[in-house]
Structure 1
Amino acid sequence: MDRKVHDTLLKWKSSSGRALVLEGPRQTGKTFIMKEFSKSYHYSVYIDLEENEELKTVFEQTNDASEIYEKLSYNGIRFDTSSGNPLFIIDGIQSCPRAFSALKPLAVDGRCDMIASVSLPGVEPSEGDFPSPIGYVQMVEMGPMDFEEFLWAMGIGKELTAKIRQWIDTGSEIDVSIGSALTRYFRKFMTVGGMPAAVQKYVDTKDCNEVWDVLASICNIIEKDALRYSDKKDRLKILACLESIPSQLAGENKTFVYKDVGKQAGTGRREYGSSLDWLHRAGLINLCYNLRDPCEPLSQMERTDSFKVYLKDPGILTYMLGRETASAIESGNTYVNEGAVVESCISQALVSNGYRIHFYSKPNSSLKMDFVISYKGRLTALETRSGKTKISRSLLMLTSGDYKVERGIKIADGPVGADEHGILHLPLFAPCFFDIPRIETAPSRTPRK
């Protein structure tokens, strides 16, 4: 599986000096990519602290780099430094917080290039008197495969996906046969998702039922992590929050309601806030906040009491919604369950491309917008919910001049084009190819003589 993060690792290697930590949910391919990356070294050492309790004691006994290497050698682990720095991989470092702390002395020592993985991003504290490695580590987030990586796995070359990105960026018309093929792949992505094991199973078998079994196994692992790595008082609440997300997204409103978690009136953030926060810190969900007003700066317009919760992986969401949902999507009903899966796909596409996501719902009004982002330096409204209607009343209202929204984009199952109102229509997969937002800088002035 070709992953974009591999380029990040190569760049780190050429200018290393700090340890690198891959953080992200379990089953997103961190171990695989680290082992693939190790092939660029003359020599590498791999240890898994979740699988080897004895090696944990090495880090629990000392925080001195030389002593760590000596104790590892007594465990039969050798480091060949004869031809330059070897790569030292520590997998599952979240199971041993003192090993996470040890990344600082190991990075300073410099005899190895250090790379580690954290499967639960929110679980990486140092303990006792051991120093924090922050400042000596580069944190790199790794989530599920995005749609472009999914296309690579399906055999679509990088040259072709680069062309797709260019077409979306310029708003160019896409050939009908190509657009239809990409839409079919996108629907498949909605049911298979981006977890590498699920994608690989589909590549190998083309059997969605076998993929279903893989997704079931991944969901079981998520549940076990919640029970193992959370406070005892929150464990069942975390699972309840997770299980409520599909039904909340499948409703017309989609805004997360705490009392719907336990089906008990009067419950709210006090009962479930820390549990939802655990899911967010574990890298399993995206939070999309409502705006008091759709204007810049978006971060200052957030209503922290009103938000949507999206699962990062569409395959897991489809699995939780059930086989009927998967069958409907496979049959072409993209907007089944009020568009819960397609909206989640788009949320993750925007987040993975570097966008901060928000939505807008005007109180006591039918005016609502699925996403409001800053796209190409302009405040942009994105609508995904109306696949069959050509004219969007909410988009027209937000871009009419009474609001500060400068651009309207409708994401639908259709071709690229602009309508008579200036609304840009893009296909379902388009946000997966949006350019990464960049910091705009003013041109430098030529100094006066």
Structure 2
Amino acid sequence: MYFKRKIDGFLADWKNNHSRKPLIVKGARQIGKTESILHFANENYENVVYINFALDKKYTTIVNDGYDVETVVKNITLINPSTRFIPDKTLIVFDEIQEYPDIATSLKAFNLDKRYDVICSGSMLGINYRKIHSNSVGSKTDYEMFSMDFEEFLWAKGYEDKAINSILEHMISLTPFSETELSVYKSLFLDYCVLGGMPDVIKGYIKTGTFSQSLEIQGQIRLDYEEDVRKYAEGLDQAKIISVYRSIPAQLAKENKKFQFSIIDKKARSREYTGCIEWLIDAGVVTECKCLNYPELPLKGNVDNSKYKLYYPDTGLLISTLDEEAQEDLRVNKNLGVYKGALYENFVAEAFVKQGLGLFYYKKDNSTLEEDFFVRSKNELIPVEVKSNNDSSKSLNALIKNDRYADIKHGIKLGDFNIGYTNNIYTFPYFCAFMLKAYLHKWD
């Protein structure tokens, strides 16, 4: 069972580009990188050479004699004489390159040679990507992959692009969803929140129509992430990295979701953990939301590096950390209970990251003025509020109405309600979050 993924279109465009360079697909473990690459390879190439440096350690010598194409090809065929290399018809897949980052140096030669296409892949866990980038700068294309987003989930459920695009059409025209549309999409969205986007979890759900085994798979993925910390996090306190990762659900359950080291240890100091957080971000297993110094454009460079929020890049993994009673309530009754604020906010952060939108928030010192996220159109800064209830949006209204915030003219509110517009605030159901970047393109 192969699920259609966003990377499929990117790979097709890459192959159709006559000046294509070797490609490096980055992303966290178990999000479907290898499966998608091999599906594309087998559909589009007469000959595929697949080398997994984690499983086939014997290949971790193929550049010892030089980085030129002839030497690399010769050494591969020495190790496995049955391997064929057909010029202009062969794709070479180097998988798990975090185990053998030296292979990246050969990409310059492959880029100049042009006889063979090359795709490299590896989990960001353990990838010393700075080294890989420096060894291949100018000779590669990068693609960052994530677990399945809500649109990919809808594809897996059998929904066609026409039905999915109608969500965007509703948003642009400000046409409320019908009761049937709202009910169906809300139900699908809640299923997706509980499941997350890990392909193995989605496959079990599609196959059985239930959440059976999803928690077990999610728990194992989290354990595998922690095991990779022990395997790859050299020169850092591995226990501190794991303690940061495990603390995120408790951090998000707070009313003030700013990351606080005291949640981990009352005596903890930020300088002791900074490298640990950076490692987790580089590994792709947490995402960072930066605090703005002031709610104005531009966003980049306008941040307070001492304040940030951390999220799981897959809400299903976050939900799998909750206690057993909450798990049962979520999976059976779809009741998010006391966790709903944290879970919905994490989902929106996840949706933004998967669209390539940056994560920014604002909290004014010694004030109740706080906004969950910010995005931008061509000329506007747009605060985005995630509502877990129907309370008034005091901060959102204050940002829009106060002349001091000159870049802010409108706001967006995501919650458990239909499409609407009042007092310069656009309201959308939670499930619309995955379409926000496309919607913003229509804004100006």
Q: CA deviation at 1:324?
A: 3.2
After superposition, what is the alpha-carbon deviation per residue over 1:36-55, rounded to whole angstroms, capped at 9, x for unaligned?
A: 11111122111111101101
Match 2:86 to one of 78, 81, 84: 81
Query: 2:402: which partner in 1?
Result: 401
**Aligned to 1:287, what secondary structure does the other structure show?**
strand
Query: 1:53: which partner in 2?
Result: 57
Match 1:22 to one of 15, 25, 34: 25
Is residue 28–residue 196 contact of structure 1 (8 Å, CA) maintained in 2?
yes
Is residue 173–residue 416 contact of structure 1 (8 Å, CA) maintained in 2?
yes
Q: CA deviation at 1:250?
A: 0.8
Cα 1:101/1:336, change in 2 over 3 Å = farther
After superposition, what is the alpha-carbon deviation per residue over 1:277-326, rounded to whole angstroms, capped at 9, x for unaligned?
A: 00100111211111221111122321111110011001111111233333
**Aligned to 2:372, what secondary structure does the other structure show?**
strand
Query: 2:387: which partner in 1?
Result: 385
Q: CA deviation at 1:123?
A: 2.1
Q: May I ask how many residue pairs the two structures share in their alignment? A: 434
Query: 1:238: which partner in 2?
Result: 241
Match 1:423 to one of 380, 403, 425: 425
5 Å-filtered alignment, 1:323-338, equals: 323-330=324-331, 331-334=333-336, 336-337=338-339
- Aligned equivalents of 1:74, 1:386: Cα separation in 2: 61
Query: 1:344: which partner in 2?
Result: 346
Q: CA deviation at 1:126?
A: 4.1
TM-score (norm 1): 0.91
- Aligned equivalents of 2:164, 2:213: Cα separation in 1: 28
Cα 1:131/1:353, change in 2 over 3 Å = closer
**Aligned to 1:46, what secondary structure does the other structure show?**
strand
- Aligned equivalents of 2:13, 2:48: Cα separation in 1: 18
- Aligned equivalents of 2:282, 2:5: Cα separation in 1: 23
- Aligned equivalents of 1:336, 1:209: Cα separation in 2: 24
Q: Which runs of 5+ in 1 are unaligned?
A: 443-449
Query: 2:142: which partner in 1?
Result: 139
Is residue 250–residue 338 contact of structure 1 (8 Å, CA) maintained in 2?
no
1:174 aligns with 2:177: yes
**Aligned to 2:112, what secondary structure does the other structure show?**
helix
- Aligned equivalents of 1:430, 1:438: Cα separation in 2: 12
Query: 2:222: which partner in 1?
Result: 219
- Aligned equivalents of 1:60, 1:170: Cα separation in 2: 60
Q: CA deviation at 1:392?
A: 1.2
Query: 1:111: which partner in 2?
Result: 115
Letter in 2 for 1:279: L
Is residue 289–residue 304 contact of structure 1 (8 Å, CA) maintained in 2?
yes
RMSD of aligned Cα (Å): 2.2
**Aligned to 1:306, what secondary structure does the other structure show?**
strand
Q: CA deviation at 1:348?
A: 1.4
1:291 aligns with 2:292: yes
Q: Which runs of 5+ in 2 are unaligned?
A: none
After superposition, what is the alpha-carbon deviation per residue over 1:5-31, rounded to whole angstroms, capped at 9, x for unaligned?
A: 111111111114310010000101000
Letter in 1 for 2:105: S
Letter in 2 for 1:306: K
Question: Is the deviation greater in 69-78 or in 132-141?
Answer: 69-78
Is residue 328–residue 336 contact of structure 1 (8 Å, CA) maintained in 2?
no
- Aligned equivalents of 2:324, 2:168: Cα separation in 1: 32
After superposition, what is the alpha-carbon deviation per residue over 1:92-113, rounded to whole angstroms, capped at 9, x for unaligned?
A: 0111011122222222222210
Is residue 355–residue 436 contact of structure 1 (8 Å, CA) maintained in 2?
no
- Aligned equivalents of 1:131, 1:233: Cα separation in 2: 22
Question: Is the deviation greater in 177-186 or in 370-379?
Answer: 370-379
Cα 1:229/1:60, change in 2 over 3 Å = farther
Letter in 2 for 1:150: F
Q: CA deviation at 1:57?
A: 1.4
Query: 2:190: which partner in 1?
Result: 187
Cα 1:114/1:300, change in 2 over 3 Å = same
Q: CA deviation at 1:173?
A: 1.6
- Aligned equivalents of 2:177, 2:439: Cα separation in 1: 23
- Aligned equivalents of 2:266, 2:212: Cα separation in 1: 35
Is residue 4–residue 156 contact of structure 2 (8 Å, CA) maintained in 1?
yes
Match 2:257 to one of 254, 257, 265: 254
Letter in 1 for 2:298: P
Match 1:42 to one of 46, 52, 56: 46
Give the fraction of aligned pairs with identical amino acids, expressed as a percent.
29
Cα 1:125/1:63, change in 2 over 3 Å = farther
Query: 1:123: which partner in 2?
Result: 128
- Aligned equivalents of 1:324, 1:25: Cα separation in 2: 29
Letter in 2 for 1:234: D
5 Å-filtered alignment, 1:316-327, equals: 316-327=317-328
- Aligned equivalents of 1:229, 1:8: Cα separation in 2: 30
After superposition, what is the alpha-carbon deviation per residue over 1:116-163, rounded to whole angstroms, capped at 9, x for unaligned?
A: 102117523548xx9711111100000111111011111212221122
Cα 1:416/1:296, change in 2 over 3 Å = same
Q: CA deviation at 1:232?
A: 4.5
- Aligned equivalents of 1:72, 1:154: Cα separation in 2: 41
- Aligned equivalents of 1:126, 1:298: Cα separation in 2: 28
Query: 2:356: which partner in 1?
Result: 354
1:63 aligns with 2:64: no
